Amino acid sequence: MRLVLKASICPLEIRNITFIRHQCFLLHQRKHNRGRPGSPSNSDVSMKSDQSHQPEHCNNKLSWCELSEESCKGLNLSVLCSASSNLTKLDLSHNDLLDSGVEQLAEGLKSVHCKLKSLNLAGCQVTEKGCGYIASALEFRKAADLKMLDLSYNHPGDIESKRLQDITEDPQMKLKTLWYVTITTCVDSYEVYLTFDEKTAHRKFAFENGRKVKTIDLSKKAARGTASVNKDMVRWTQVFCERPEMPNQGLTGLCYWEMEWTGQVAIALAYEKVGRDMSHFGSLICSKISWSLSCSHKNYTARHGNTSVTIETEPCPRIGVFLDYDNGLLSFYSVTPGQLSHIYTFNEKFTRPLFPGFSFKKVKTKYLNSSVSLSVSLTGHSKKM
């Protein structure tokens, strides 16, 4: 498996582009007070070529800069299509460019003035549609200089992956290096075995063998098990998980696990302090130090802090979670025999170990009939996504 190295967020050396907006020549500090200067904000970034400051061959690292699809329009019009641009390497990895942003970049690849030889789009939430834009651009302009394309941690789909692979084998095309695999056939090597930490559980939860939890009706005097109730947790409708061999330690590195759910459940990962006492860190699904996917019979909702994204797709009762801590990627997949289908990916520079957990939906004073079962991954997955 190929892993994309974590990109630096040190101050960028501005050689071949200058920011027009506000006539700035220094990159803005990253949003959300990430603590290091040097990255532009997530607003629309307009750029122009500056021939007087360009070396013969230029490269730019704009990874982890919180650029959006709007930023790509400025790159296309003012850099890629500029006759005076000498840009040959462009690293846009780990920005939320989406398919619409890649569509703008693809238009730039069609330009006779585009000199790009290397384009890194790892972790940009590109799907089959976006990869199709790139393939079409390269087929349109077979003389394009692009030699290396990195689509790691995206979801190109089988059809467009094959289409791009065919381009690398075309002697008339210059593209020879293509990366697009996210999780390979060795998922089993980084699957983690989790159990519920009953000490962190809400009092309306009942457990079975440490691997299944469900909501209960206390009016029926149902027992919650032999574990003692943490009184500080009764205000929270949640429970955390842990690895039995490493209790009280969060997850780092490469991790994968699956679960089955019913009712309305939020699957989350958070830093240790979130919602574990009566402080003001917020709940497991509404905090700046948690990342969650809420599941219902209608759709999914991804949440981080005050930001939420609704994913309108038919929910699947089995979910897989993939964490690449070092590369700042947290992905959720629907799981069916032989297939993992991407739901959503968070791009984040994690700074502390992550603790997995679940939160359950409450309507007024009653909890829906919800449950979560931690599962061993299904065999026979097609783990290339």
pLDDT tens column, 220-274: 444 444 444 444 333 347 899 999 999 889 999 999 999 999 998 999 999 988 8
- Whole-number percent of the chain with pLDDT over 70: 71
User: Could you tell me if residue 383 is inside a domain?
Assistant: no
Q: Please give the average per-residue pLDDT across 276-290, as a whole number.
A: 66
- Among 286, 258, 265, CA closest to 214: 265
Confidence of residue 148 (pLDDT cuts 50, 70, 90): very high
Beta bridge partners of 256: 191, 322
**Looking at residue 368, what is its pLDDT?**
63
Which residues, other chains included, contact 243 with Cβ-Cβ below 8 Å and sequence gap of 6+?
192, 193, 194, 195, 249, 251
Which sign, positive or negative, has the C-alpha torsion 62, 65, 68, 71? Answer: negative
User: Could you tell me if residue 41 is inside a domain?
Assistant: no
Say if residue 17's pLDDT is above 60. Answer: no
- Among 127, 126, 90, CA closest to 108: 90
Confidence of residue 2 (pLDDT cuts 50, 70, 90): very low
Confidence of residue 23 (pLDDT cuts 50, 70, 90): very low
**Looking at residue 366, what is its pLDDT?**
57
Beta-strand relationship, 148-150 and 118-120: parallel
298 lies in the same domain as 243: yes
Q: Please give the average per-residue pLDDT across 118-136, as a whole number.
A: 93
For residue 119, what are the domain limits?
17-24+59-181
Say if residue 49's pLDDT is above 60. Answer: no
192 lies in the same domain as 272: yes
| Alpha-helix runs per DSSP H in 110-141 | 128-140
247 lies in the same domain as 146: no
The values of phi and psi at residue 21, to 5°, are: -60, 125
267 lies in the same domain as 121: no
**Looking at residue 114, what is its pLDDT?**
94
177 lies in the same domain as 197: no
Beta bridge partners of 342: 333
3-state SS, residue 328: coil
85 lies in the same domain as 163: yes
198 lies in the same domain as 347: yes
User: Quick one: how far is CA 71 from the chain centroid?
Assistant: 19
**Looking at residue 268, what is its pLDDT?**
95
Q: Please give the average per-residue pLDDT across 37-66, as a whole number.
A: 49
62 CB burial (10 A radius; 0-12, 13-18, 19+): buried
User: Could you tell me if residue 36 is inside a domain?
Assistant: no
| Domain count across the chain | 2
Residues 147 and 376: their CA atoms lie apart, in Å, by 40
Considering the chain, what is the average pLDDT of its residues? 76
202 lies in the same domain as 343: yes
**Looking at residue 182, what is its pLDDT?**
54
Beta-strand relationship, 118-120 and 87-91: parallel
User: In sequence order, what E strands does 189-281 have?
Assistant: 195-197, 205-208, 212-215, 238-242, 254-262, 265-270
Q: Please give the average per-residue pLDDT across 298-320, as a whole number.
A: 93
* Greater pLDDT, 317 or 18: 317
Q: Please give the average per-residue pLDDT across 132-148, as a whole number.
A: 95
Residues 381 and 239: their CA atoms lie apart, in Å, by 28
175 lies in the same domain as 194: no
Say if residue 216's pLDDT is above 80. Answer: no
Confidence of residue 102 (pLDDT cuts 50, 70, 90): very high
| CATH classification at residue 84 | 3.80.10.10
255 lies in the same domain as 346: yes
Confidence of residue 367 (pLDDT cuts 50, 70, 90): low
- Among 162, 185, 161, CA closest to 380: 185
pTM, two decimals, is 0.67
User: Could you tell me if residue 42 is inside a domain?
Assistant: no
- Among 272, 293, 275, 256, CA closest to 374: 256
**Looking at residue 59, what is its pLDDT?**
54
User: Could you tell me if residue 10 is inside a domain?
Assistant: no
150 lies in the same domain as 106: yes
The number of beta carbons lying within 10 Å of the beta carbon of residue 182 is: 27
Which residues, other chains included, contact 258 with Cβ-Cβ below 8 Å and sequence gap of 6+?
318, 319, 320, 321, 335, 374, 375, 376, 377, 378
Tell me the two tokens of residue 14: 């501005």
Residues 39 and 64: their CA atoms lie apart, in Å, by 8
Say if residue 179's pLDDT is above 50. Answer: yes
| CATH classification at residue 283 | 2.60.120.920
Residues 221 and 266: their CA atoms lie apart, in Å, by 26
User: Could you tell me if residue 327 is inside a domain?
Assistant: yes
Tell me the two tokens of residue 196: 């519920």
**Looking at residue 342, what is its pLDDT?**
84
Query: Angle at which helices 128-140 and 98-109 pack, to 10 degrees?
Result: 10
Last residue of a domain, one of 161, 181, 201: 181
User: Could you tell me if residue 6 is inside a domain?
Assistant: no
Say if residue 99's pLDDT is above 90. Answer: yes
135 lies in the same domain as 193: no
- Among 16, 112, 4, CA closest to 56: 16
User: Could you tell me if residue 52 is inside a domain?
Assistant: no
Q: Please give the average per-residue pLDDT across 6-14, as a whole number.
A: 29
Residues 193 and 375: their CA atoms lie apart, in Å, by 9
Beta bridge partners of 344: 332
